């Protein structure tokens, strides 16, 4: 079992930056692939970024490439999402997720992930 708690959301002006953090419980955090998803108002949840259990490889949605960076610290059981050059369309509830599967064909699919945090609101004003 893994429990995930996100923090760092808030209100920021367009062009600004925010850093989201996700703290995970459990002794096997390093064996989980981690992802960030978001759900804009009135829309479906969508993939943002993912990082392998070892932290070496990452994936990003096209809409955030070059602006967002995912990272993890297995010693601290945390995964972060550094968001820069924020746009109003980045406004959403952001969720942290953990995947325990050994074989993961699609890091961008929500069904890949077994555990989810409660979400943190990010609002970007124009």
Tens digit of each residue's pLDDT (9 = 90 or more) over 76-125: 999 999 999 999 999 999 999 999 987 888 999 999 999 999 999 999 99
For residue 58, which phi and psi values (nearest 5 degrees)? -135, 160
Query: How many angstroms from the chain centroid is the CA of residue 94?
Result: 7
Question: How high is the pLDDT of residue 31?
Answer: 86
Nearest alpha-carbon partner for 79 in 94, 64, 91, 61: 94
Confidence of residue 56 (pLDDT cuts 50, 70, 90): confident
Residues 6 or more apart whose CB falls under 8 angstroms from that of 48 comprise 35, 36, 37, 38, 60, 61, 64, 68, 81, 94
Question: How high is the pLDDT of residue 95?
Answer: 98
Q: Given the DSSP bridges, would you call strands 10-13 and 120-125 parallel, antiparallel or unpaired?
A: parallel
């Amino acid at each position: 079992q893994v429990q995930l708690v996100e923090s760092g959301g808030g209100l920021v002006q367009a062009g600004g930056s925010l850093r989201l953090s996700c703290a995970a419980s459990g002794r096997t955090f390093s064996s989980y692939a981690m992802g960030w998803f978001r759900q804009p108002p009135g829309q479906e949840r969508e993939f943002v970024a993912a990082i392998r259990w070892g932290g070496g490889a990452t994936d990003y949605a096209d809409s955030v490439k070059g602006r967002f960076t995912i990272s993890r610290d297995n010693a601290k059981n945390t995964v972060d999402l550094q968001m820069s050059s924020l746009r109003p369309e980045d406004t959403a509830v952001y969720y942290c997720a953990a995947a325990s599967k050994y074989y993961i064909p699609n890091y961008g699919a929500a069904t890949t992930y077994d555990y989810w945090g409660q979400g943190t609101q990010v609002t970007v004003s124009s």
